[in-house]
Amino acid sequence: MAKITFIEHSGREHTVEAELGQTVMEAAVQNSIPGIAAECGGACACATCHVYVQEPWREPTGTPEPMEEDMLDFAFDVRDESRLSCQITVTEELDGLVVKVPEKQF
């Protein structure tokens, strides 16, 4: 298991236990984190599970693949630390990960 903290736009924090191997989006949906819509169910096809990866987690979470980068074009207020949470797999290394949820997913 790995702990992941989601910070809502309002500043409210939710720390959840995620299973290794699942995606950060799945952990969010299982724990009903507000602001992660995940409309397409994890197919990297909707950009509604957009998060901002907080430091020092940008390096261990890696950079988006071209498909994810393309899909980020459909997200709003995209920043350097933007990722689609369905494309981040939970590993032991990510225990303690902190991500911010944007104000709106569209």
Partner 1 sequence: MSEEPIQTDVVIVGAGPVGLFAVFELGLVDLKCHVVDILPRAGGQCSELYPEKPIYDIPALPTVTGQELTDRLMEQIEPFGAEFHFNERVDQLERLDEGFRLTTDGGIVLDCKVVVIAAGGGSFTPKRPPLPGIEGYEGKSVFYSVKKIEDFRDKDVLIVGGGDSALDWSLNLQPVAKSLTLIHRRDQFRAAPDSVNKMFKLVENGDIKFELGQVTELHGDNGELTGVTVKAPDGNTFEQPANAMLPFFGLTMKLGPVADWGLNLEENLIPVDTEKFETSEPRIFAIGDINSYPGKLKLILSGFHEAALMAQKAHEYIYPDKKLTFQYTTSSTSLQKKLGVK
Whole-number Å distance between alpha carbons of 7 and 15? 9
Whole-number Å distance between alpha carbons of 11 and 34? 12
* Interacting residues with partner 1 (CB under 8 A): 39-40, 43, 45-48, 69-70, 72-74, 76-78, 103-104, 106
Which strands sit side by side in the sheet containing 50-53, from one edge to the other?
Answer: 13-18, 2-7, 97-100, 50-53, 82-84
Q: Which is nearer to partner 1, 97 or 102 (CB)?
A: 102
Q: Which is nearer to partner 1, 69 or 95 (CB)?
A: 69
- CB 97 to partner 1: min, Å: 25
Q: Which is nearer to partner 1, 19 or 70 (CB)?
A: 70
